[in-house]
Amino acid sequence: MPAQIGYFDTLKSTAGKILTFLSTITLTGTDGKTITCTQDISLDEAVAMSSKAPKASPAFTTNMTAQAASLSSGPELVTNGLVWTGAIGDATVPTGWTQITAGIYTATADAGPGGVGDTALTIARNAANNYPGIKQDITVVVGKYYLVCLSFKKGTSPNFWVGVGSTSGGFEYAYAEATPIVNATWNTQTFIIKATTTTLSITLRGGITVEGQTALFDNVSAKEIPATITDLFYGGIPLLSIAYINAAANADTTIFTVPVGKRCVLDHAIFIAGGDAGATTTISIGADGTETDFIPANTLSNLDAVNDAVILMPVPNTTPTKTKSYAAGTVIQAQIASQSGVTNNMLMLFGVLY
């Protein structure tokens, strides 16, 4: 495999102190082979590189070794999420799917986003039933991570929703609505979930109340993320949890509970927006009852679109910022206040258990 090129950018505080490193690097190779990345100190920069061209080789702060494989190398778990066999333009649901509310299901000539396959599923209202939809329940392993992807567009319906749940037809893991999405545009949503039950349920449903209105879905996929790749993907600091945060309501959301017999020191969190987070929305993170002893209230006004992201962490200083070692049983929550955002935002929490 030829040498790979990466680009690392140093962020600096007003006092010139280094805060953190952001990096993008692509590693490719053969499954089962080892890729080793080593530091080249001669390429270290004393100033930020934002306005500079990338170096011929990246500068790494540590050595990193990982197995070469794709993020979602597990087998496909969704039955019939691409071709939509069995959807013939009447009440017959696609093969492998279960009806929630009756509708009309058609495999439509539409390649979907990126031209994958040659059909998409169109769900339309029949003469009698509002909110037609289907679901598929998949058996998974508690504690393992799964990558769920699906694409959608509104068609002629006023809106629709998709959900990923731990119960049949539920939305416990993730929920997305398409009200702000224009009719002609395909959109793709990706969810990374940690299974809390043996059921992973995917729901596709139209917010349709007028006969003949349509919503379209395609490229529905679920694959296990191997543990070795999870470790690489999250950069060496253990991923403790993934939660979905509603920025359209002021509320506390439980995102992690310290296991029995362990203590926990949190490192950082990543908030990935499901849309415009709003001008006033704040998020804080900490033990239940305070919700601020790890991350105080941070305003999310710079998150303007889906997949905008921020890293939330205590800011290093000459006197280190104090954090907590949480005891077993401590419930960690994220608190939304001054809400003005959207419902479906991913929050990844990282830390060390000992």
Domain boundaries in the chain? 7-67, 88-225, 234-353
| CB neighbours of residue 347 within 10 Å | 19
User: From the centroid of its chain, how far is CA 227?
Assistant: 17
CB-based contacts of 115, cutoff 8 Å, min separation 6? none
pLDDT per residue over 152-179, tens digit each? Answer: 887 888 777 888 999 999 988 877 765 5
Task: Provide the whole-model pTM.
Answer: 0.59
Is-same-fold flag (88-225; 234-353)? Answer: yes
Kindly state the tokens that stand for 106. Answer: 């058609």
Point out which residues pair with 149 in neighbouring strands: 190, 221
Nearest C-alpha neighbor of 64 from the set 225, 192, 234: 234
More confident: 105 or 41: 105
Reported confidence tier of residue 15, pLDDT bands at 50, 70, 90: very low
- Region 328-347: mean pLDDT is 88
Q: State both tokens at 248.
A: 């359209």
Q: What's the Rg (C-alpha) of the chain?
A: 22
Q: What is the pLDDT of residue 337?
A: 93
C-alpha neighbours within 13 Å on the C-beta side of residue 84: 28
Would you tell me how many other CB atoms lie within 10 Å of the CB of residue 125? Answer: 23
Pairwise CA distance, residues 179 & 105, whole Å: 21
Considering the four listed CATH numbers 2.40.50, 3.40.1350, 2.60.120, 2.60.40, the one that applies to the domain covering 234-353 is 2.60.120
25 has pLDDT over 60: no
DSSP H helical ranges for the chain? 227-233
Whether 183 has a pLDDT exceeding 80, the answer reads no
**Nearest residue to 32 (alpha-carbon basis) of 63, 76, 67:** 67
Least confident of 52-66, 84-98, 114-128, 223-237: 52-66
Instruction: Give the pLDDT band (50/70/90) at residue 244.
Output: confident
Please say whether the beta carbons of 181 and 154 come within 8 A: yes
Indicate the class that CATH gives domain 88-225: mainly beta
What is d(CA 308, CA 337) in angstroms, rounded to the nearest whole number?
A: 19
- Is the pLDDT at 200 greater than 90? The verdict is yes
pLDDT of the residue at 113: 66
